């Protein structure tokens, strides 16, 4: 009983520790800086952060969100990423247990956290994550149950190809670029990890949520200001939703349509 109660807590803390590293990736990757060297430091005063000031969530609360060296405010994004990744890690563990599927999906979801926060702030999706993710996702398909190498390969081509077709068609019709290449490679990566059946669900969910958020933002946006809405976070949301509830939601929808008989 004690072990049962301890493992989820350990997994949650482990996820927050990973989240601490993800913060480094979010901050440094858009600047083409190494995520390994130099050690974590304050961007304002270059104070090298000691281990006791780098404990996920706790250190932020203890320091009241300020740098020990200069007192400069630390973005709330840091504890948010740590907490978010801790929760996602725990949910994945409770859903899949200590399996290879858990490890693979934790890798994917952690990558999606980095992509989401970078895309929101910089409107870019690092190729280092998406392109390497395509390769890793395809390799893992040889070892994971429920996603064969063929499903993964089809997912890569369907994911990347569908958005590539949309982007090409939009450019031909309007003469403008409406979708970045990062989104195309991201969906190809999601197809590699989750298989081709996940791609339509992710596109539909991401487009639906993105449209609702975009319309809401437009209603409150000033008329003379430009609105740029990154699509990556919505694709990431659709992927996470598919991991936990995708198959159930698809069965529910098909049931309403009379296409699924149980």
Q: Give pLDDT, residue 121.
A: 93
Which residue has 């982007």 as its token pair?
167
Which residue has 């590539």 as its token pair?
164
* pLDDT tens by residue, 122-176: 999 999 999 999 999 999 999 998 889 999 999 999 999 988 888 778 777 777 7
Lowest model confidence (mean pLDDT) among 41-45, 59-63, 190-194, 254-258: 254-258
Lowest model confidence (mean pLDDT) among 5-14, 189-198, 235-244: 5-14
Q: Give pLDDT, residue 42.
A: 81
State whether residue 239 is helix, strand or coil: helix
Cis peptide before 2 (omega within 30 of 0): no
91-103 as b/e, with b when 16 or more CB fall inside 10 Å?
bbbeebeeeebbe
Residues with Cβ within 8 Å of 120's Cβ and at least 6 positions away in sequence, in order, are 230, 233
Structure-block tokens of residue 53: 């000031």
Q: Give pLDDT, residue 164.
A: 86
Domain boundaries, the chain: 1-98, 99-262
- Listed residue (111, 91, 114, 92) closest to 101, CA to CA: 92
User: How confident is the model over 74-78, as a mean pLDDT?
Assistant: 92
pLDDT greater than 80 at residue 102: yes
Which residue has 């520790």 as its token pair?
17
Could you report how far apart the first and last alpha carbons of the chain are, in Å? 36
User: How confident is the model over 221-238, as a mean pLDDT?
Assistant: 78
Burial of 47 (0-12, 13-18, 19+ CB in 10 A): middle
**Angle, alpha carbons 96-93-111 (nearest 5°):** 100
The CA distance from 83 to 249, in Å, is: 27
Q: Which residue has the higher pLDDT, 179 or 104?
A: 104
Compute, in degrees rounded to 10, the torsion defined by CA atoms 111, 116, 122, 126. Answer: 20
């Amino acid at each position: 009983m004690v072990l049962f109660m301890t493992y989820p807590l350990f997994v949650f803390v482990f996820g927050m520790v990973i989240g601490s590293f993800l913060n480094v990736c979010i901050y440094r990757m858009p600047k083409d800086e190494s995520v390994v060297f130099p050690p974590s430091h304050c961007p304002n005063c270059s104070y090298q952060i000691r281990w006791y000031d780098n404990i996920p969530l706790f250190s932020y609360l203890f320091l009241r969100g300020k740098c020990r060296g200069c007192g400069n405010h630390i973005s709330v994004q840091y504890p948010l990423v740590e907490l978010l990744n801790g929760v996602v890690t725990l949910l994945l563990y409770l859903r899949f247990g200590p399996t290879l599927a858990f490890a693979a999906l934790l890798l994917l979801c952690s990558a999606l956290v980095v992509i989401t926060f970078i895309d929101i702030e910089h409107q870019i999706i690092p190729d280092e994550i998406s392109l390497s993710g395509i390769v890793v996702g395809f390799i893992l398909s040889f070892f994971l149950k429920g996603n064969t190498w063929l499903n993964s390969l089809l997912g890569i081509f369907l994911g990347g190809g569908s958005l590539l077709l949309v982007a090409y068609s939009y450019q031909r019709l309007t003469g403008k670029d409406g979708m970045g290449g990062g989104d195309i490679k991201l969906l190809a990566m999601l197809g590699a990890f989750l298989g081709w059946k996940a791609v339509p669900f992710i596109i539909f969910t991401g487009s639906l949520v993105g449209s609702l958020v975009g319309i809401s933002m437009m209603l409150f946006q000033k008329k003379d200001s430009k609105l740029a809405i990154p699509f990556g976070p919505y694709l990431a949301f659709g992927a996470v939703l598919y991991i936990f509830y995708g198959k159930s939601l698809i069965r529910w929808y098909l049931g309403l349509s009379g296409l699924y008989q149980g």
